[in-house]
Structure 1
């Protein structure tokens, strides 16, 4: 049995819906379908999720909402019209649910945003099920609550209740039925809507694949494979046919946009293979993501990822390595301001702390600097906002001697300085820090050196 997830670009129009129907019916093992909200139809278009956020903003402000609600409804009507369902009761149901959204009392604004923005997927799953039923296909819309998928935590960054896996596993459906499930949205034990964080539909798909003990998790998107580098930076990079879970996690963290780095943890824990495929080219084999022991890595490097969302704090103080509790003091200061760090490479007299700069406001940075001077008295403290990270990842780096030498030599020839180098004990990834304005050039230099 396969769990299949379709992204927003795969479900943006009626024509794309037809491709999805063709894919589902082409393989009888595809029994569970997880859908995203309608995405962009063209450059400059607005995703339905973003339209729903505007609807939520206007509701909170007490503003006139009929126009935005009509715009949202029109996206679903356009898809229904493609299948001559514009007079079907499903459109009336969608309209009623959109109207009802701003008539509910929510415990907080975060609960309101979760309910509004999660409805993009909820309504799209209902629409897909209705279209399939109209075509005589044995499909049923199933909400996450019916499946037993419950969450805890923040309404807009929900965490799965581990008991959900048992409930999902006990869900009864026959071998001929198709379950259509909305991604992204889930519900608490109190019945309130909540949403997962970035990559929410991917998270839902992975949870269901594990809970239902699927043989394969297929993730359909708008690319025919995961590529070894960003095609916007490197011209025609090599497609990756197979990669390990560890490689995917490392690359996703550092900028690969196919998966959010947390989204595939459920299938990793259950050793379920993932196949990334293209809705617009379903015959292409795509990229298989598999357990570490099932792949023999012939090449030293599988992929190169890059991201400029980082900032760094450089600290220098003589003999800091000899002071017991030095790092603990720093971490306690960061915890005071609810700031987590990404990496912390260090030497005997200095340390660089790397952050996701989304956490850092000028006020927070000023408070952290004040406390660091007061508590650990650094000789030098400097914030580096112009900071990008490049991750070179490959299981084969452990067996191929000299790969990193090729990389550093090529960067030196290009005149690109490396203010930070960090490699973990696993030896499957090497992280380098570069100035933001040299990031793209550095990626191309590294790609040419290893591929």
Structure 2
């Protein structure tokens, strides 16, 4: 039994949905289907979820409100009519949206944002029936997906998995909307953005699928971002830990929380292309043989700042690190990395958490509580991750990275390896990120 998840590009229009239907029809093991909201039809297009977010924020009958409604109507009219589905399906979808807009519940915005996924599931299941398959729409509440009451950041509750396991006995194909679940008292609540991947992984773990297939618009995961390096090598196999590191550092194939349910259930994941379904794709597994050079991929992301603190004999001062982290906690700032030395310590945070007001307050608190010799903040950093299972046991892996950066004339602001056997992290100036990535790729894969 397989669970197949189709992303936004796979259900963006009628032509793509027909491809999805052929994929489902081509393998009787694909019993549970999870779908996203319609994505971009072309590069300048807008994702339906973005339109729904604008709609939920707009004032009723304003220009933005009316233009959003028109765009949603146009998108589903095109899909429903091009698929040859009954007009009453379109009427049902638009009536549902109208009712959501008039509602006054505290989860109203979640319901509106989830309308895209919910409508996709209804459309796809209707089309599958039209082509002769025994397909059914299955609402997450009826599937038993129970989540915490955290709007926009719902977490799955353990009883969901036993609820989902009971679905194995059902006959036919079941299409489930991604991105949301229901609280114990019946409130629709969304996962974080990109949460359809989370739903797919949850369903795969719950029904104990033999394989979780994630269909997207790329043939596989690549060793590096194709927007930076032309025609990079494909990765045929990854471990969960490697994919987690790559997702964190900017690989956009997977939401970085999405694999946890599949990982915990030890279910293999296949990343495949809706437009090229016969292509082998990339397999994500619990264990795999170690590569010769140890490195499987290089990922990067911008938007980081570092808070550097130096104090003579810091290592002898009991509670120094705890006090520093308490200052950040009280300011509602989570840290990403903390590389340290004997007398100095650097905390890496995301830029969006560090407003000018917060930065000033944090520096004042650090100076008052910790009395450092130096405290300074460095903005506009990029983080580069060199990733590979077990690469730390191989001689020369780190030396290759530092040589590559030196040859590209890139200054290393920070290095963090620590005890990880999966990745090395380098902090560089954001403006140097692309040339750093190109040089690292040439060194490991060129």
TM-score normalised according to structure 2 size: 0.97
Equivalent residue in structure 1 for 2:215, among 211, 220, 227? 220
User: Which runs of structure 2 are paired with 1:77-88 in the superposition (5 Å)?
Assistant: 77-85=77-85, 87-88=86-87
Aligned residue in 2 for 1:232? 227
Q: Alpha-carbon deviation of 1:396?
A: 4.5
Q: Alpha-carbon deviation of 1:173?
A: 4.2
- Residues 305-328 of structure 1, C-alpha deviations (whole Å, 9 max, x = no match): 000021111111111111000001
Aligned residue in 1 for 2:318? 324
- Residues 28-73 of structure 1, C-alpha deviations (whole Å, 9 max, x = no match): 11000000000011121111101111110114x6746444223212
Aligned residue in 1 for 2:432? 438
Note if 1:303 corresponds to 2:303: no
- Residues 147-182 of structure 1, C-alpha deviations (whole Å, 9 max, x = no match): 11011041111111111111111235434x000000
Q: Name the CA distance, whole Å, in 2 between partners of 1:219 and 1:381.
A: 45
Aligned residue in 1 for 2:144? 148
Q: Name the CA distance, whole Å, in 1 between partners of 2:61 and 2:296.
A: 51
Aligned residue in 2 for 1:167? 163
Aligned residue in 2 for 1:391? 385
Aligned residue in 2 for 1:127? 123
User: Which runs of structure 2 are paired with 1:50-449 in the superposition (5 Å)?
Assistant: 50-59=50-59, 63=62, 65-85=65-85, 87-107=86-106, 111-171=107-167, 173-175=169-171, 177-292=172-287, 294-449=288-443
Q: Name the CA distance, whole Å, in 2 between partners of 1:11 and 1:116.
A: 19
SS at structure 2 position matched to 1:154: coil
Q: Is this contact kept in 2: 1:73–1:94, CA < 8 A?
A: no
For the aligned residue pairs, the C-alpha RMSD in angstroms reads 1.4
Q: Alpha-carbon deviation of 1:410?
A: 2.3
Q: Is this contact kept in 2: 1:69–1:98, CA < 8 A?
A: no
Q: Which moved more, 1:421-430 or 1:282-291?
A: 421-430
- Residues 90-113 of structure 1, C-alpha deviations (whole Å, 9 max, x = no match): 111101101111111112xxx222
Residue-pair matches, total: 444
Q: Is this contact kept in 2: 1:225–1:278, CA < 8 A?
A: yes
Q: Alpha-carbon deviation of 1:333?
A: 0.7
Q: Name the CA distance, whole Å, in 2 between partners of 1:36 and 1:433.
A: 34
Q: Name the CA distance, whole Å, in 2 between partners of 1:94 and 1:343.
A: 45
Q: Name the CA distance, whole Å, in 2 between partners of 1:413 and 1:99.
A: 59
- Residues 121-154 of structure 1, C-alpha deviations (whole Å, 9 max, x = no match): 0011011111112222110000000011011041
Q: Name the CA distance, whole Å, in 2 between partners of 1:78 and 1:233.
A: 35
TM-score normalised according to structure 1 size: 0.96
Q: Is this contact kept in 2: 1:119–1:185, CA < 8 A?
A: no
- Residues 178-217 of structure 1, C-alpha deviations (whole Å, 9 max, x = no match): 0000000211122211110032000000000000000000
List runs of 5+ in structure 2 lacking aligned partners: none
Q: Name the CA distance, whole Å, in 1 between partners of 2:238 and 2:152.
A: 31
